[in-house]
Amino acid sequence: MPFTRINSKMVEARIVPGQRMFSQRGAMLAYRGEVSFTPNITSGQGGVMSMIGRRLANEAAPLMTVEGDGSVMFGHGGHHIHAVDLSGETLYVEADRLLAFDGALRQGTMFMGSQGGVMGVIRGQATGQGLFTTTLQGKGSVAVMAHGGVVELPITPRRPVHVDPQAYVAHRGDVRNKLTTALGWREMVGRGSGEGFQLELSGQGTVYVQASEEKL
């Protein structure tokens, strides 16, 4: 079920019997009908092994399962919300940025090293995102939180995009990401530009960038 945008900080989703949705705990602002909110121990689908995987990967955000028959309005902490509709491709996003997503999407964790090798690992450490990120794949909708509004930038094979790692929200598609450095001797003596690390995304897809350099 796609998310209806009410305003930049609030979305509404229709909950249909038989389908479930996962959302961050405490993110419900109001609801109609009969909807139940059950705290999720596994932080998503997949059972115990997936839960352990997520805990080890530090991608276990506190989630709740939303089921029933009605419609729910979601919002959290005044953060801006961006709804992404997936039709088969994969979305890569940090687990703590997820506001709500369709239960039908396949959720997994991805090791940063697999997309960028050693530099991918360093990217995770340098930007504080960690070694892993969460992947959502399939047909469904995802609501993602950002600090400040979100801009969508298309990535095409001939036009890679460079993003400040602190302004990066998520990306989708067949995209390779690489941490590039523009470090020189000036960074060593405290006169660096502050833009020493950049994220280069190439391939075919879209990257979502937030209008802020604060995580959330």
Binding region for other proteins (CB under 8 A): 6-10, 25-32, 36-41, 62, 64, 73, 75-78
Which CB atom, from 20 or from 178, has the smaller least distance to other proteins?
Answer: 20
Provide the minimum distance between the beta carbon of 106 and other proteins in the complex, in angstroms, as a whole number.
23
Which CB atom, from 27 or from 161, has the smaller least distance to other proteins?
Answer: 27
Output the six-digit token pair for 63. Answer: 């989630």
* Residues found in the chain: 216
Provide the minimum distance between the beta carbon of 45 and other proteins in the complex, in angstroms, as a whole number.
15
For 119, 193, 211, the CA distances from 22, given in Å and listed in that order, are 32, 41, 26
CA distance 4 to 80: 14
Which CB atom, from 62 or from 117, has the smaller least distance to other proteins?
Answer: 62
Which CB atom, from 41 or from 56, has the smaller least distance to other proteins?
Answer: 41
User: Hey, how many other C-beta atoms are within 10 angstroms of the C-beta on 215?
Assistant: 16
Provide the minimum distance between the beta carbon of 79 and other proteins in the complex, in angstroms, as a whole number.
8
Provide the minimum distance between the beta carbon of 87 and other proteins in the complex, in angstroms, as a whole number.
28
CB 28 within 8 A of CB 74: yes
Q: What SS3 state is found at 216?
A: coil
